């Protein structure tokens, strides 16, 4: 009879020495990582962060959401989106100005699905964090979102001025109401080449020469916009009005003007009719030559002009 001593232990996996890789293989390895993995890797050491800054991981969109109580980053890739939450908590240890991602390591307290949670330390470090995080990525679209019900006007204007000095492509102002003087100041500052979204209430008598000149404009409250305002639009991309004072006859009048206008007005207009208005396709398309695809799931009409 023979007895064999068989080792059934699972062999230990050798650690992957990513820091030993030359730059080109390092870049190829990190291209398979998602944005949260890039963030966590950058917090491991400053040397890793420097490698990642050189590699410039590609993002489709980066959005910053700012309020007094928290800071959030939405990082959008082609196939998924991840988030970083900086939550304001009581902490005896205050952080010096942030210049390295490694400084966030002790503040990191977990991951929930696609959300990284990091303790939020000071409003003075908001822009430091933005510079550190954005330096890791190559991103064609960078937007700032300000929540006015949780943010003082002075704080909002401070970060608006800082972000205008960076390569930001759009600005959103959400919740509460915006006064005419503050709206005027915002539109005086923000270049018309940017995306502008106003989710706050706007005074019914508000007027500004740049209001409909932004390449992409979204107004949640568009009831202050008149038909003549729309007819004055020239050389913009997209206007979205989530509420208006228009009925079907008004929209038809604008469409006929748009079709016959010899100047470039806009590429896309998306709007809702005034509250309670009923969509009448015959009124909307009156005196317009349109093409409608029979049997299509949508009710799209193509105007021939």
At 203-230, the pLDDT tens digits run: 999 999 999 999 999 999 999 999 999 9
Point out the residues of the chain with pLDDT beneath 50. 1-3
| pLDDT at residue 242, rounded to an integer | 96
CA torsion angle 123 124 130 131 (round to 10): -170
Question: Which pLDDT value is given to residue 185?
Answer: 97
The structure tokens 């030993």 sit at: 20
Count of alpha carbons within 13 angstroms of residue 270, beta-carbon side: 11
Q: Is 241 part of any domain?
A: yes
- Is residue 107 situated within a structural domain? yes
CA distance 101 to 42: 6
- Classify residue 299: in a domain, yes or no: yes
pLDDT of residue 286: 93
* Predicted pLDDT of residue 224: 97
- 8 A C-beta contact, residue 162 and residue 186: no
DSSP codes of every residue in 149-160: GGS-HHHHHHHH
Q: Residue 1: its pLDDT value, please?
A: 43
Transcribe 47-61 into DSSP letters. Answer: HHHHHHHHH-EE-SE
- Tell me the sheet residues that pair with 82: 75
Domains identified in the chain, total number: 1
Phi, psi of 255 (to 5 degrees): -60, -40
CA 152 to CA 157: how far, in whole Å?
A: 9
pLDDT of residue 254: 96
Report the C-alpha gap between 165 and 187 in whole angstroms: 16
Q: What's residue 301's pLDDT?
A: 66
User: What is the distance between the alpha carbons of residues 38 and 21, in angstroms, rounded to a whole number?
Assistant: 16
What are the CA-CA distances from residue 189 to residues 122, 131, 182, 192, 195 (Å)? 26, 21, 11, 9, 13
Domain-embedded: residue 94: yes
- 124 contacts 45 by C-beta, under 8 angstroms: no
Measured CA distances, 271 to 63, 207, 267 (Å): 24, 19, 14
Note the Cα 257 to chain centre separation in Å: 33
Q: How many residues belong to the chain?
A: 305
User: Do 302 and 292 touch, CB atoms closer than 8 A?
Assistant: yes
Angle, to 10 degrees, between the axis of helix 46-55 and the axis of helix 23-30? 80
Distance of alpha carbon 225 from alpha carbon 227, whole angstroms: 7
Which pLDDT value is given to residue 168? 92
Residue 54 is assigned to a structural domain of this protein: no
Residue 217 lies in a domain: yes
For residue 114, give its domain range: 59-304
């Amino acid at each position: 009879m023979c007895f064999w001593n068989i080792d059934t232990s699972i062999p230990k996996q050798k650690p992957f020495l990513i820091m030993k890789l030359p730059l080109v293989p390092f870049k190829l390895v990190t291209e398979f990582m998602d944005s949260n993995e890039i963030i966590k890797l950058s917090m491991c050491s400053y040397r890793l962060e420097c490698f990642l800054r050189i590699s410039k991981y590609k993002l489709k969109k980066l959005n910053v959401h700012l309020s007094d109580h928290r800071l959030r980053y939405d990082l959008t890739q082609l196939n998924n989106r991840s988030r970083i939450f900086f939550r304001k908590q009581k902490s005896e240890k205050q952080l010096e100005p942030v210049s390295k991602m490694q400084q966030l390591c002790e503040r990191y307290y977990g991951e929930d699905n696609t959300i990284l949670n990091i303790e939020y330390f000071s409003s003075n470090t908001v822009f430091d964090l933005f510079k550190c995080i954005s330096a890791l990525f190559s991103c064609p679209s960078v937007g700032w979102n300000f929540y006015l019900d949780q943010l003082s006007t002075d704080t909002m204007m401070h970060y608006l001025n800082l972000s205008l000095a960076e390569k930001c492509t759009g600005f959103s102002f959400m919740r509460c109401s915006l006064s005419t003087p503050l709206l005027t100041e915002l539109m005086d500052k923000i270049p018309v080449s940017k995306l502008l979204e106003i989710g706050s209430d706007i005074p019914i008598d508000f007027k500004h020469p740049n209001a409909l000149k932004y390449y992409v404009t979204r107004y949640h409250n568009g009831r202050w916009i008149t038909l003549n305002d729309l007819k004055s639009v020239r050389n913009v991309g997209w206007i979205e009005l989530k509420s208006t004072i228009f009925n079907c006859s008004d929209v038809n009048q604008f469409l006929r003007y748009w079709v016959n206008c010899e100047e470039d007005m806009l590429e896309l207009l998306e709007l809702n009719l005034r509250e309670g208005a009923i969509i009448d396709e015959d009124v909307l398309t009156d005196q317009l030559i349109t093409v409608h695809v029979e049997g299509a799931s949508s009710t799209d009409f193509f105007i021939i002009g």
